Amino acid sequence: MKIRINKGALKSFLCTILLLFTAVGSFAGKSDSTSTKIIHMIGADLRPGYLFPTHEFFKGSNRAGQRMNSTLSGHLKYGFKFSDNTYLGRQYPHAIQGIGIAYNTFFNSSELGNPVNVYLFQTSRIASITSDLSFDYEWNFGSAFGWKKYDEEKNPFNMVVGSKISAYINLGFLLNWQMTPSTYLRGGVGVTHYSNGNTSYPNSGVNTIGASIGVAHFFGNNRENRFSYFPSQNHALNSYITYDLIVYGATRKKGIFPEDQSPMLVPGSFGIAGLNLNPLYHFSNYFRAGISLDLQYDESANIGKHIANTYIPSEPEELRFYRPP
């Protein structure tokens, strides 16, 4: 796998990191470090990766006529954790959450674009290896903006991305080394998935796997050793049931599969709404489990059984449907 790095973009990325560290350091230096309850963090990651060839477009069926198998992204993140003089800091001493922004290249900007990710993230320790080294996880969830979507005339080869905005999901596993009391070097591997959730077609998805190398710096009252052990406390949290309720709504495209004909995309979009109820028993401060009740309304359900045309037309715009009694 060959990774091509744009030197100008890399220099701009590093300069931005330096300015961001300087600005946050100046802000944190003015705060009262003896009374703060929140510890701020600024981080930066560089993530080269391998692009899975899940579609002919990536295998060379594109305007450039070249195989696409690599990606590179730069990430800037702001996060925070609760200090050890707070209840949440004592209960979850290693949890860090915040927001991030990333710039991506797949080395074919004219057909795929260079999307920018805006996302929420959380990272925490899975296991301590030594006093200065831990095995951590990190997840990212957000949106990617700026794709070059499929266009029958302007971008006909890109049968992968059908919208300018897609969802962005990433899960990584990292080794986290505490170089100084406030600075950490992090490296590991992660997988990424981009999809618009069938809100528009095409939607083949973009999937990558790659490495990650980065640094995180904490500001404020970060005197405690992040890898110190906090014993689990007996608390009412361990002995009761809580309820998670999720209500959601979305739109989707729908395809039908007429007999003896090619699949056909139904014009327009269809609404989806639902809820998810989860009674969860607290086994500990870090683990809950239970049953789940899911209800969903899908406006496009069984639409293929309600075609009003006496024959299947050749053009989707000619399709007609009837409502069941």
pLDDT digit string, tens, across residues 174-231: 999 999 999 999 999 999 999 988 788 888 899 999 999 999 999 865 554 444 444 4
315 confidence band (pLDDT: 50, 70, 90): low
Give the domain range for residue 187. Answer: 7-219
| CA–CA separation, 196 and 264 (whole Å) | 19
In a domain, 105, yes or no: yes
pLDDT of res. 259 = 61
User: Predicted confidence band at 263 (pLDDT cuts at 50, 70, 90)?
Assistant: low
Does one domain contain both 189 and 292? no
Residue showing tokens 């406006």: 299
* Pair 121, 165: CB distance under 8 Å: no
C-alpha separations of 175 from 149, 187, 219, 286 in Å = 36, 5, 21, 21
Q: Is position 24 within any domain?
A: yes
pTM of the model: 0.73
- Mean per-residue pLDDT over the chain, rounded: 82
Note whether residue 230 is domain-resident: no
State pLDDT tens for residues 236-247: 444 588 888 999
Residues 163 and 308 in one domain: no
pLDDT 10s digits, 52-67: 999 999 999 999 899 9
Question: What is the pLDDT at residue 94?
Answer: 92
The answer to whether position 229 is within a domain reads: no
Q: Do both 276 and 135 map to the same domain? A: no
HSE-CB for 314 with a 13 A CA cutoff = 0
250 & 195 share domain? no
Distance CA 195, CA 202 (A): 10
Number of domains the chain contains: 2
Judge whether 146 and 116 are in contact, CB under 8 Å. yes
pLDDT tens digits, one per residue of 247-261: 988 887 777 766 656
**Residue scoring higher pLDDT (238 or 100):** 100
Domain boundary among 155, 189, 219: 219
Residue 299 has pLDDT above 60, yes or no: yes
pLDDT score, position 227: 41
Looking at per-residue confidence, does 62 or 35 come out higher? Answer: 62
Q: What is the distance between the alpha carbons of residues 139 and 97, in angstroms, rounded to a whole number?
A: 10
Residue 121 sits in the same domain as residue 11? yes
